Amino acid sequence: MDSGQHIRKASALTAWRKSSYSGASNGNCVEVGDGHSAVVPVRDSKIADGPALVFGRAAWSSFVTGLHQG
């Protein structure tokens, strides 16, 4: 699985997690796939069988850092 691609059926991947800030509701959440060494797959929690976007680890790290910095 390479960065810059998407996965057509995200449910084929295992170990999805969502932010603890999303609460108990199954609302508008983004889930991140764990267990991939070079990439970070991301999907919409409402569409578990939908596609996932795949980001390189460095790009994902920069994105998360930017979120924390506001």
H runs (alpha helix) in 1-70: 57-69
Model pLDDT, residue 25 = 63
Q: Could you give the dihedral angle defined by the CA atoms of residues 6, 36, 29 and 8, in that order, rounded to the nearest 10 degrees? A: 20
- What six digits make up the tokens of 34? 């764990």
**What pLDDT, in 10s, does the model give residues 1-56?**
455 555 566 667 668 888 777 766 666 788 898 888 888 999 888 888 888 888 99
The answer to whether residues 6 and 54 touch, using CB atoms and an 8 Å cutoff, is yes
The predicted structure's pLDDT at residue 11? 66
